[in-house]
Structure 1
């Protein structure tokens, strides 16, 4: 009886450790191959490989990230420029992805209704405002709100200008975060169920 309890306790501890490892691994954003990046005004936007604390996020400013959601740490992003904060047009930033991808728009929090601003129509139409934020060293703005695409995008990604109507209240340009869509990954729940089944099958 004692030996059986020890075995069960060992298995439970193993499962807990495995769960921690699985969930931790899945928490990191999945990479996507990004190609053909272009800005309508020919600005030399760049593809950032891993956004995290202390990383510079614009090509033309030295502002850095102070705090961001843990599950987005290390995400790829489009390093835009703040000089294009007044950009307009239905197709200002374009690029291609090699698989279904979730697109995040980090938009100046001053352009949010809670701060008396108004986001552009395209942002409200194709993205949903989340509770996540990106805190930065730009003291005037302080925080980006994170908007998530309502569905994964595959192939060419088209993002309109920061100042498209009826945008108001903003003072900084957006940046774009990119990760593989949920359909490309196995959920932690599925992995844990499989692992538990294997453990129970051990005689």
Structure 2
């Protein structure tokens, strides 16, 4: 609403493939309101089992080196394989590594995608819930105030509208995992 005058908009819909660059022009008028773009999120319905640290979890987009890895630490992503650059992702709380419930996090993936989890490579063996995932040769590294840690990446294909449940990190001393959707 502009002032006290309600405005109406016509809604147009277009489906585009993942990682498609969409260019939009002007609205054709300097007199009328500009348009709004609405995008359906890829990660929806985030529920964190670790209620003590849930406020430090969040859904993020456009994963890049330099991003803060955790919502409760000053740790950044130092290196990231190009295949995951731009991915939607979940910023976790590193303190959630101590959570031992069956479901550390649950969420819905709204389109066909590849789900990826980056696990601190000091955690061995990997948590049992990762047994059905593919261990890749991809790694990312973090920057923990000048110290670097490596994370192994595990992947799993998911179909649209899959509810995903991930277990605990398998550690209380090393880093929590990172979730990516590409």
> How far apart in 1 are the matches of 2:120 and 2:148?
7
| Cross-structure match for 1:75 | 87
Counterpart of 2:135 (choices 123, 129, 132) is 129
Cα displacement string for residues 126-184 of structure 1 (whole angstroms, at most 9, x for unaligned residues): 211100001110266611111111x3243211111112xxxx696110110012xxxxx
SS in 1 for 2:160: strand
| Cross-structure match for 1:148 | 155
| Cross-structure match for 2:67 | 55
Shift of 1:57: 1.4
| Consecutive aligned runs of 4 or more in structure 1 exceeding 4 Å deviation | none
Structure showing greater radius of gyration is 1
> How far apart in 1 are the matches of 2:103 and 2:93?
16
TM-score with structure 2 setting the length: 0.69
> How far apart in 1 are the matches of 2:60 and 2:82?
17
User: In structure 2, do the counterparts of structure 1 residues 87 and 154 end up closer, same or farther at CA, with 3 Å as the change threshold?
Assistant: farther
The structure carrying a bigger helix percent of its residues is 1
Counterpart of 1:36 (choices 41, 45, 51) is 45
| Cross-structure match for 2:176 | 173
> How far apart in 2 are the matches of 1:169 and 1:141?
19
TM-score with structure 1 setting the length: 0.63
User: In structure 2, do the counterparts of structure 1 residues 101 and 170 end up closer, same or farther at CA, with 3 Å as the change threshold?
Assistant: farther
Counterpart of 1:98 (choices 106, 110, 135) is 110
> How far apart in 2 are the matches of 1:153 and 1:86?
30
Contact kept in structure 1, 2:114 and 2:158, CA below 8 Å: yes
Contact kept in structure 2, 1:103 and 1:153, CA below 8 Å: no
Q: CA RMSD in A?
A: 2.2
Counterpart of 1:64 (choices 53, 72, 76) is 76
Gaps of 5+ in 1: 1-24, 112-116, 180-203
Contact kept in structure 1, 2:98 and 2:172, CA below 8 Å: no
User: In structure 2, do the counterparts of structure 1 residues 170 and 107 end up closer, same or farther at CA, with 3 Å as the change threshold?
Assistant: farther
